């Protein structure tokens, strides 16, 4: 199988391999056996490739801090999902920009309805490893082509929309339009999304940041952070029905595997360089 996908879609391979590496490490932060199964299979093809990203993935040489960050994030999003289902036993979860993540397998309680949405090229890969059922569904669409919302609207909800490592790849106007549409079509829903602080996305810092991120994991030129928010309250100004609930940063975990980075979490602007925000859309 060829990994013939765009630069932004390729980021899903990086997070998948982070899950697999962490799962196989000592005292794993995240237990994701499906990621090990998928990467073992993908390695058979990627091992033939000369692409620097593929070589990094197959050799398992992803930056250790990145691996821990991504694993902590997935674990926290699993908790957000479980908490939502505990509060809303008939709830529906939509994982926007799911990549090759296996959240449904990690958290399935035997009754939940779960949708994984990503670009068609990613869903094509996903279909090799995940089968749809009456409770687990795949949506092959850009999140910005809002027709996908009609697919899920027959469900009663309430809905939890999760966007883990996705919004930063969209333009500011696109994120705003998406969130406003979600609020309008699914009133009472919740949104958990990761954000980059827009402070870091001003020229010329933006170009430096993007260069650093891309070269760290050998991503192509189109895998760039496009937008962010100044602070967690910014989205509330988009519509009076958008209400900030809580936020989370990797640093809050105090996870030992973060090493000396743990100390930086006390510095507010570092804690919120890239962090997660939880909203009610009513
Ligand atoms: C960094 S990966 C994160 C994947 C997954 N959420 C995880 O944490 O493992 C970003 C994902 O967002 C997806 N994505 C980016 N733009 C998108 C769009 N317009 N519509 C749907 N998915 C998109 C990419 O294809 C990719 O799978």
Instruction: Say how far apart CA 236 and CA 127 lie, in whole Å.
Output: 37
**Residuewise pLDDT in 10s, the chain (282 residues):** 456 789 999 999 999 999 999 999 999 999 999 999 999 999 999 999 999 999 999 999 999 999 999 999 999 999 999 999 999 998 999 999 999 999 999 999 999 999 999 999 999 999 999 999 999 999 999 999 999 999 998 888 999 999 999 999 999 999 999 999 999 999 999 999 999 999 989 888 888 888 888 888 888 888 899 999 999 999 999 999 999 999 999 999 989 999 888 888 888 888 999 999 999 999
Q: Provide the pairing of β-strand 242-248 with 189-196.
A: unpaired
Structural domains of the chain in order of their starting residue, each with its CATH number: 66-281 (3.40.50.150)
pLDDT score at 221: 87
Q: Which residue has the CA at smallest separation from atom 13 of ligand 1?
A: 97
pLDDT score at 1: 46
Cβ proximity of 277 and 195 under 8 Å: yes
Closest atom of ligand 1 relative to the 95 alpha carbon: 6
Bridge partners of 246, per DSSP, are: 278
Q: Is 91 in the pocket of ligand 1 (CB under 6 A)?
A: no
User: 238 vs 84, 86, 146, CA distance in Å?
Assistant: 24, 29, 19
Q: Which residue has the CA at smallest separation from atom 23 of ligand 1?
A: 97
């Amino acid at each position: 199988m060829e990994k013939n996908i765009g630069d932004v879609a390729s980021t899903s391979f990086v997070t998948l391999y982070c899950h697999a590496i962490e799962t196989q490490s000592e005292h794993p932060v995240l237990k994701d056996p499906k990621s090990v199964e998928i990467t073992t299979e993908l390695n058979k093809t990627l091992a033939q490739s000369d692409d620097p990203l593929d070589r990094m993935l197959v050799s398992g040489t992803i930056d250790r801090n990145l691996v821990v960050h991504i694993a902590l994030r997935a674990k926290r999003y699993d908790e957000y999902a479980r908490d939502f289902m505990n509060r809303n036993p008939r709830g529906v979860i939509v994982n926007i920009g799911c990549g090759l993540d296996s959240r449904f397998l990690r958290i399935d309680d035997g009754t939940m309805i779960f949708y994984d949405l990503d670009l068609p090229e990613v869903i094509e890969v996903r279909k090799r490893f995940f089968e749809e059922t009456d409770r687990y569904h795949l949506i092959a669409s850009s999140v910005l082509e809002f027709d996908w919302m009609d697919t899920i609207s027959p469900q009663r909800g309430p809905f939890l929309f999760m966007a883990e490592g996705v919004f930063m790849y969209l333009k500011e106007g696109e994120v705003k339009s998406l969130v406003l549409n979600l609020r309008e079509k699914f009133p009472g829903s919740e949104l958990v999304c990761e954000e980059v602080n827009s402070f870091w996305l001003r020229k010329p810092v933006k170009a430096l940041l993007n260069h650093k991120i891309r070269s760290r994991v050998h991503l192509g030129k189109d895998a760039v952070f496009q937008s962010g928010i100044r602070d967690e309250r910014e989205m509330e100004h988009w519509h009076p029905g958008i209400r900030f609930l809580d936020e989370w940063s990797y640093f809050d975990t105090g996870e030992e595997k973060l090493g000396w980075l743990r100390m930086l979490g006390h510095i507010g602007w570092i804690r919120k360089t890239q962090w997660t925000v939880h909203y009610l859309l009513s």
